[in-house]
């Protein structure tokens, strides 16, 4: 890729119009190819940490893709490698098929919004947003027009002369977004962009970020460890753990059909059991957990004696009060009942010592099951709602 072009980025307005005019084409087009990405770091003790272990990932044009995983899983290292701030030990990153290895960060048509926002405290909002345009020598009128457009996109029109200290946390975050968007990047990289906000503002900004991405028609790549944030905002989620890619898919696919025990436990609330297939009838299998709990699920490819991990989401378990859909019943002893607003979380001890969490929906004015710790509880589930994964354990 040539690195001597004055402005390697396309016009943002044209990119947005192209996305609206032909969404199916843009969604299927791969913008960024990552193949075999490896990165290791030496430790003070003389060892090494593998931050990226042969990562393969395609980033599509005009999508909202989230890198999700626990601290230390490698997601920020991958984002920094894409931005050009981190060199890979092996593997490649290519934009439109052109390798980026020799392209410095300032020549890549990307912009990054950091966790700290990194605003200049002595500059007003307009000057913070226009800083990159000033460095690039953009003519004054064009610069002012683009700054105004960027501020309008993030809802900050009228606050141009304020300093960062005169803004709320959410407003500062929007300034950082405007500063990145004003340069018309092809790819916007966001490193934990909402972590500094309180819960209510963070939830509001999740929806605004997704709406903004849809309006500007460019690719957003976000790093977060917040599973709810990923589920709400993303077109696709890439789940990472231990420097490896565990699963890439749409939010519903990741939540309902995780490929392994780690993804199942990391995304959402989970009842996870280790079990063995003990019977089969048609497409329905009988599973016996290590604690002796007998479950039924629908699965075509399992045979008796197979070891499996079983996922049964709490919302799949219904208190059998006579109104729950008919299904397979389980009985246990209620240990705890915790009110969390929309739901009541019920922790149930089964005969073999395993514990399941069920949800009882709370609706003001409607009767709830009168249950106290120590009561015998009967819950039902549908076999179609049980997700079974082949176990990595022998």
For 135-163, the pLDDT digits (tens) are 889 999 999 999 999 999 888 999 999 99
Instruction: Report the C-alpha gap between 208 and 199 in whole angstroms.
Output: 14
Is pLDDT at 5 greater than 90 in this prediction?
Answer: no
pTM for the full predicted model = 0.85
Section 62-81 average pLDDT: 95
> Which of 142 and 211 is assigned the larger pLDDT?
142
- Please tell me the predicted confidence (pLDDT) of residue 143: 94
Tell me the per-residue pLDDT of 282-301, one tens digit each, with 9 for 90 and over: 888 999 999 999 999 998 78
Looking at the chain, the whole-number percentage of residues with pLDDT higher than 70 is 89
Lowest mean pLDDT among 3-12, 22-31, 351-360, 378-387: 3-12
Q: How is the chain split into domains, by residue range?
A: 12-109+185-264, 269-390
Tell the CATH superfamily of the 12-109+185-264 domain: P-loop containing nucleotide triphosphate hydrolases (3.40.50.300)
Would you state the structure tokens that stand for residue 22, as one six-digit string?
């032909």
300 contacts 361 by C-beta, under 8 angstroms: no
Question: Where do the DSSP E strands lie in the chain?
Answer: 30-42, 48-60, 64-68, 90-95, 98-99, 110-113, 187-191, 219-224, 236-241, 244-249, 272-281, 284-289, 294-298, 307-311, 318-319, 328-339, 343-349, 355-361, 376-381, 387-390
Whether the pLDDT of residue 366 is over 80: the answer is no
Residue 365's pLDDT is 66
Residue 166 has what pLDDT? Answer: 94
**According to the CATH classification, is domain 269-390 in 2.40.50.140?**
yes
Q: What is the mean pLDDT of residues 333-347?
A: 89
Above 80 in pLDDT, residue 392? no
Residues 6 or more apart from 282 whose CB is under 8 A from it? none
Least confident of 148-162, 199-213, 237-251, 263-277: 199-213
Mean per-residue pLDDT over the chain, rounded: 86
């Amino acid at each position: 890729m040539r690195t001597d072009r004055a402005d390697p980025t396309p016009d943002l307005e044209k990119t947005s119009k192209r996305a609206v005019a032909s969404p199916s084409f843009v969604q299927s087009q791969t913008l960024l190819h990552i193949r075999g990405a490896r990165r290791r770091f030496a430790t003070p003790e003389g060892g090494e940490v593998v931050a990226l272990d042969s990562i393969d990932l395609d980033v599509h044009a005009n999508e909202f893709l989230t890198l999700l995983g626990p601290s230390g899983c490698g997601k920020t290292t991958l984002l920094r490698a894409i931005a050009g701030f981190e060199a890979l030990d092996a593997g490649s990153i290519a934009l439109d098929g052109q390798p980026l290895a020799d392209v410095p960060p300032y020549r890549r048509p990307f912009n990054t919004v950091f966790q700290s926002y990194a605003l200049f405290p002595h500059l007003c909002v307009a000057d913070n947003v226009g800083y990159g345009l000033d460095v690039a020598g953009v003519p004054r009128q064009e610069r002012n027009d683009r700054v105004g457009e960027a501020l309008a996109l993030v809802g900050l029109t009228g606050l141009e002369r304020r300093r960062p200290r005169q803004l709320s946390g959410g407003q500062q975050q929007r300034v950082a977004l405007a500063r990145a968007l004003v340069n018309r990047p092809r790819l916007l990289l966001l490193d934990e962009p909402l972590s500094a906000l309180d819960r209510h503002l963070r939830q509001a900004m999740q929806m605004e970020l997704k709406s903004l991405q849809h309006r500007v028609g460019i690719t957003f790549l976000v790093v977060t460890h917040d599973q709810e944030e990923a589920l709400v905002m993303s077109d696709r989620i890439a789940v990472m753990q231990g420097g490896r890619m565990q699963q890439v898919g749409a939010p519903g696919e990741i939540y309902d059909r995780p490929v392994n025990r780690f993804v199942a436990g990391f995304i959402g609330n989970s009842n996870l059991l280790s079990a063995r297939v003990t019977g089969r009838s048609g497409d329905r299998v009988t599973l016996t957990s290590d604690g002796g709990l007998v479950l039924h699920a629908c699965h075509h490819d399992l045979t008796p004696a197979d070891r499996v991990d079983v996922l049964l989401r709490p919302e799949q378990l219904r208190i059998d009060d006579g109104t729950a859909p008919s299904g397979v019943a389980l009985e246990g002893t209620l240990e705890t009942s915790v009110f969390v607003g929309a739901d009541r979380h019920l922790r149930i001890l089964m005969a073999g010592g395993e514990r399941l969490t069920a949800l009882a929906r709370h609706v003001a004015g409607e009767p709830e099951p009168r249950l106290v710790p120590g009561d015998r509880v009967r819950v039902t589930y549908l076999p179609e709602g049980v997700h079974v994964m082949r176990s990595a354990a022998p």
